[in-house]
Amino acid sequence: MRVGIDVGGTHTDAVILNGDDVIAATKSLTSADVISGVTAALDEILQQSGVSAGSIKTVMIGTTQFTNAIVERRELSKIAVIRIGLPSGRGMPPMVDWPRDMVDAIDAEVYMLHGGYLYNGWPVADMRDDEVKAVITDIQNKGIQNVAIASAFSPMNSRPETQVAEKIRAAIPDARVTLSHSFGRLGLMERENAAIMNTTLLPFADRVVNSFLGALAKRGLTCPAFISQNDGTLMNADFVRAYPALTFASGPTNSLRGAYRLTGLENAIVVDIGGTTSDIGVIQNGFPRESNVVVNIGGIRTNFRMPDILAIGLGGGSVVSEDGKIIGPRSVGHKLVTEGLVFGGQTLTATDILVAGGHAVIGDKTLTSHIGAGVVSQATATLHKMLNDNIEMMKPGGKDMPVILVGGGAVLVTQGLNAAFKLHRPENADVANAIGAAIAQIGGESERMLSYRQTSRDESIASVTRAATERAIKAGADPKTIRAVDIEETAVPYMDEGATRVRVKVIGELAT
Amino acid sequence: MKRIDLSHLDDLALGSVFLATGGGGDPHVPRLITEQAIKTYGPVTLIAPAALDDDAFIVPIGSVGAPTVSLELLPSVDEAARTIEAFEAHVGRKVDAVASFEIGGGNSLIPLVAAAGKGIPVVDGDGMGRALPEAQMMSYAIAGVNPTPALAMDYAGNQATFQTNTTEVYERHIRSFAMAAGGMITTAEHAMSGAELKRSVIPGTLSFSIELGRILRENRGQAEGLLKPLQEIFARSIYGQCQLVFQGKVVDKATRIVGGYDVGEVTIERFDGLGDPLKISIKNEYLLGKIDDRVIASVPDLIVIVDYETGTPINAERLRYGHRVAVFAVGCPDFYRTPDALRVVEPRCFGFDIDYVPLEQL
């Protein structure tokens, strides 16, 4: 049996799956400390099912805590960023295209060093020992523990990154370093962005993982624990301490996969309404449609592999304007239970509108009696219009598509949706994310730029596949079940014959 | 005289990817370096070709190399201006304005970086009206402008100067230097007088690209909805008519490197799976579209693949299996339908054994 837990900004869901059957499910508000909510949800499903902790073989956790930390600019630690690539890129320092508030929030010390390699193995410039030494001394003097390092062409030659990392660790023994080549793909700025976001989350990642493992141990769950990442595959909990950024967008992926599992619909639009956002995605042949474009997270360009999600600021905790004409994007999030009107708070939220309209019994309805009927119907109309307009945008051209409503906020949809060919509200739809987390697999991905003249095509693909396989095994996959699911070869134009970018993705079952 | 400031860059980048017809590379980095240059040095003056003095000295500037390399080997904010300065020192003459090699992709932006850094105007126009892979295909070369004296500079400030007998030899030599210098260089070449530029430039394409980008942004959404606004803007331009020629899903994409180019074919099937698929031949750019044996569009007319849901143009190197796309075709500027131009850009120049037939006659 498997436990799937999903921690959202507003709700924490948990399920027990026995094979394909949901034998227990619960949904509760995410607690401010996160972990007491997780513990309570675990207690609830274990009690509901009467299953003993010992018969749970694995726990899969999906969490949006890291994405939300970036989006809301909180829990971020001060870091140092080192780019190795001078004399290229003068006047284009790290974070040059970031939103101002994010730059301020992480307050990074930025350094640019000579070094890095060209595609053909020649150095961009020689590394300068005095430059490196000065940077490390400055980092030491400023008392910074967490460092992101990116160098030009590091997916092909990671030596400059590892060399500087070694020197930092020698000088600052408890330093934690993220190397951009761990994020694989070519595109220095996007890879560097991923490393920076990852680094600024490291201390928070420790707190999160410790509290998860602590909660599981307290309930006697000693089985392996995994956390789901952006492509719907899993990584083991300790891996997350080093790579929290890999969890970005795992929530939407889990809800899409969960919606598919709940309905069996291989092609559909999924609308996952949470406390803060509605995430609209598309299932194609049972898997999330992937984004064609570079993905922005909190206004920052990254090259993560992500589902194509249109997120709009509409959820149960969304703040509603006095006239009901504007909903969101501001949300009270998990403070809904203290700040929402029905809970005795002072903020008019989408949930209050739902209760005032008589569509749900949550909190104390009498606390909404001062809201005029006109405002309630206006807000209801605003909400449905927002969803319809955005579903239309995601819909594959003019075709009739079923819409699956999932997530705790699905109750907000009280009228039909014109954009939907058919509206599905499957059983357990409110815990789709937790189900999606529970059915995730283990993946691994690697990318290198190679010359087919120097290394044969077969040998090249085999070496990249080996690197991807090693990553999958490290992340907890059963070596016997690993298979390549995607091999991408991109010839590099205008270069010598045979220069090719090879990317391989493998997937395997969880090792048990 | 118009000015290009930060508010124009997103539209210019978007419009230029459309006109790049699959080539030209991702414009993000060039867009960003242009933004940095304008922030550092101020907005750029755009000068119409007709407004140039006949004896003005103009040099086109741009990047030569593999777009993929610029994803890692980032440009510097002063690189383009330093290239112009080095060129001025080489030829012993001040440059009055810079111009663009091609309006497609990143090379539409590099002249702006140079112009900002030097405080000189950029010509509203380019040497292709789209993207094409080789120097001899530029309108400047076709009109008889000599590519040399030329100067190239790499990321570290290393320079090479060129004096060649033919454009073809120049093309070969500049590629060799690009490879030796790490895959990406900035070059100043095809220097000419105002009078020569007036008869060799594809005029107005820089301001047109900004306008096109605005249309794409404002009409973001499904491809059918984009057709009418696109037809309207192209009808008012130096380009020919715009057609929506196909919609469907990429079911195969195979490319390999031949002679330094990304050569291959993409196969697009209708959404309902019925009928013959559209096959588009690629040599860095989308060059020839065929359904069964029937030609739908061919170079030098423009073939553009856009994301079906958003209308965002997709570069050949980013196009992947499973992409849902729409394919537009646009008649090229008249310049490229003249015998002199067709001699170097007709389908046979790319290895396709067919005669060029203008889009609207197919």
Residues of the domain holding B186: 2-205
B29 contact residues in A (CB cutoff 8 A) = 92, 189
B211 assigned to some structural domain: no
Does residue A147 sit within a domain? Answer: yes
Confirm if A440 and A257 have CB atoms less than 8 A apart. yes
Q: Are residues B160 and B13 in the same domain?
A: yes
B229 touches chain A (CB under 8 A): no
B113 and B165 housed in the same domain = yes
B183 plus B284 within the same structural domain:
no
Q: Is B74 within 8 Å of A393 when comparing Cβ atoms?
A: no
Q: Could you give the CA distance from residue B208 to residue B307 in angstroms, rounded to a whole number?
A: 21
Q: Indicate whether B14 and B150 sit together in one domain.
A: yes
CB contact under 8 A, A396 and B75: no
Residue B169 lies in a domain: yes
ipTM of the complex: 0.85
The mean pLDDT value for B57-80 works out to 90
- The alpha carbon of residue A339 is apart from the nearest alpha carbon of chain B, in Å, by 38
For residues A214 and A308, membership in a common domain is answered with: no
Boundary (domain end) residue, out of A387, A406, A431: A431
Residue A286 within a domain:
no
B254 lies within 8 A of chain A by CB:
no
| A431 DSSP assignment | G
Cβ atoms of A165 and A174 within 8 Å: the answer is: no
Interface contact B334, partner A, CB < 8 A: no
Interface of A with B in 47-106 (CB under 8 A): 85, 87-92, 96-97
- Strand, coil or helix: A264: coil
In a domain, A213, yes or no: yes
The parent domain of residue A107 ranges over 79-200
pLDDT(B262) > 80: no
Distance from CA of B334 to the nearest CA of A (A): 28
Q: State whether B232 and B193 are in the same domain.
A: no
A272 assigned to some structural domain = no
The answer to whether the Cβ–Cβ distance between B77 and A186 falls below 8 Å is: no
User: Chain A contact for B241, CB < 8 A?
Assistant: no
Interface touch A91/B76, C-beta < 8 Å: yes
* Boundary residue ending a domain (B205, B232, B265): B205
Is residue A476, in this structure, part of any structural domain at all? yes
For residue A38, being part of any structural domain is answered with yes
> Residues of chain B with pLDDT > 90: what percent?
77
- Chain B residues in contact with A451 (beta carbon < 8 A): none
The rounded mean pLDDT for chain A is 89
Last residue of one domain, picked from the residues B145, B170, B205: B205
Return d(Cα B352, Cα B288) in angstroms, integer: 8
Chain A residue numbers with beta carbons less than 8 Å from the beta carbon of B256 are 491
Torsional class of B260: left (φ above 0), alpha (ψ -120 to 50), beta (otherwise): left
3-state secondary structure chain B: CEEECHHHHHHHHHHHHHHCCCCCCCCHHHHHHHHHHHHHHCCEEEECHHHCCCCCEEEEEEEEECHHHHCCCCCCCCHHHHHHHHHHHHHCCCCCEEEECCCCHHHHCHHHHHHHHHCCCEEEEECCCCCCCCHHHCHHHHCCCCCCCEEEECCCCCEEEECCCCHHHHHHHHHHHHHHCCCEEEEECCCEEHHHHHHHCEECHHHHHHHHHHHHHHCCCCHHHHHHHHHHHHHCCCCCCEEEEEEEEEEEEEEEEECCEEEEEEEEEECCCCCCCEEEEEECEEEEEEECCEEEEECCCEEEEEECCCCCECCHHHCCCCCEEEEEEECCCHHHHCHHHHHHHCHHHHCCCCCCCCHHHC
Based on the domain organization, do B89 and B119 belong to the same domain?
A: yes
A97 contacts in chain B (CB < 8 Å): 32, 35
Question: Would residue A289 count as lying in a domain?
Answer: no
Q: Which of B178, B205, B232 is the last residue of a domain?
A: B205
Q: Assess whether A44 and A9 both reside in one domain.
A: yes
Asked if the peptide bond before residue A87 counts as cis, ω within 30 degrees of 0, the response is: yes
Mean pLDDT rounded to a whole number for chain B: 92
| CATH for B30 | 3.40.1610.10
Q: Within an 8 Å CB–CB cutoff, is residue B261 touching chain A?
A: yes
B167 and B51 fall within a common domain:
yes
pLDDT in tens, A433-482: 899 999 888 888 888 878 887 888 889 999 999 999 998 898 788 899 89
For residue A497, the model assigns a pLDDT of: 61
Tokens of A165: 């990392």
* Number of domains present in the structure of chain B: 2
Confidence of residue B47 (pLDDT cuts 50, 70, 90): very high
Q: Are residues B170 and B96 in the same domain?
A: yes
Whether residues B236 and B279 share a domain: the answer is yes
Residue of B nearest to A303 (CA): B71
Sort out which chain B residues have CB atoms less than 8 A from A90's CB and list them: 76-79
Q: Are B131 and B105 in contact (CB under 8 A)?
A: yes
CATH number at residue B262: 2.40.390.10
Alpha-carbon gap: B261 to the closest alpha carbon of chain A (Å):
5
3-class secondary structure, A474: helix
Which residue in B71, B247, B255 is closest to A491 by CB distance?
A: B255
Interface check A492 vs B, CB under 8 A = yes
Q: How many residues does chain A have?
A: 512
Q: Which residues of B touch A92 (CB under 8 A)?
A: 29, 32-33, 36, 74-77
- Kindly state whether residue B99 falls inside one of the protein's structural domains: yes
Q: B308: which chain A residues are within 8 Å (Cβ-Cβ)? A: 396-397
- The total of structural domains in chain A comes to 4
pLDDT in tens, A175-205: 999 999 888 677 899 999 999 999 999 999 9
pLDDT, tens digit, for every residue of A384-408?
A: 999 988 887 677 654 678 999 998 8
Instruction: Indicate whether A211 and A95 sit together in one domain.
Output: no
